[in-house]
Structure 1
Amino acid sequence: MKYKNILQIDDDHDDCEFFEQALKTVSNASYTSVHDPVDALRKLINKEIKPDLIFMDVNMPYMSGPELLTEIKKRKVIKNIPVILLSTSPFLSRNYEKIVGAKDFLVKPNTFNELKSMIRSTII
């Protein structure tokens, strides 16, 4: 397994629960979710959470995923953590190359089996 400590930053609690359930079926990686991007940045900088991979929603209040990614890449202590952006919109994926620093851009799957497959192919 490539990644053992997964962080998901997403303001949607249901999406996080869905993701965590899928993750547990395909991996024994530890999972943390943070629903506020500003709080997530603070916790990352202060090393309160130490993920080796971050899944981040694109559309969040206070700070968007790309804005948060920009802030992460400015900080020496966390800039090397790979970040995968997630969105419900397949149209945004075409512009993903313009979002500097993202490891990948994935469209949020609609079914549990699709989510398990996406997670499996990403973290294992």
Structure 2
Amino acid sequence: MVLLNIDDDPEDLDNFFRAVKTVNPLAKCLLARNAKEALHILKDTLLPDYIFLDIRMPMMDGKTVLSELRKNKRLRSVPVIMYSSSINPREIEEYESLGANEFLNKPRDFFSLCDALVGYLKMNK
């Protein structure tokens, strides 16, 4: 199981990594602080089982990253979960049309995050 989290907030990246390892210590969790880093990781590694993508990031926002992922034949089929503390219901349709598979609001506490990740970490055993 390989997950990639793309998020500009270092604390959120750390919490995500710790939650993944708490739920499934064998899972590989890749972290990218921005779109450029994420695209570099995706070019040089195995395909992740899931990509968790923050919506609001500097330089290149989640919408642009999602579009780039879906243009790439190699990455097109990787499920992308839009993962943000603020998901605007009006934007959901737009993200779906760009190829987002699911939407997950960032849980407020660590244990809620662990609970939210359980389904993802057990689906692809």
TM-score, structure 2 normalization: 0.87
Distance, in Å, in 1 between the alignment partners of 2:69 and 2:119 is: 24
Residue 26 of structure 1, aligned match among 1, 13, 23:
23
Counterpart selection for 1:61 from 37, 43, 58: 58
Structure 2 unaligned regions, length at least 5: none
1:6 alignment partner, SS class: strand
SS at match of 1:96: helix
Runs of 4+ in 1 over 4 A off after TM superposition: none
Name whichever structure is richer in helix by fraction: 2
- Partners of 2:73 and 2:61 in 1: how far apart? 21
User: Structure 1: which 5+ runs fail to align?
Assistant: none
Root-mean-square deviation (Å) = 1.5
Give the alignment's TM-score, normalised by structure 1.
Answer: 0.88
- Are residue 122 (structure 1) and residue 120 (structure 2) matched? yes
Q: Is the 8 A contact 2:52 2:80 kept in 1?
A: yes
- Aligned pairs, number: 119
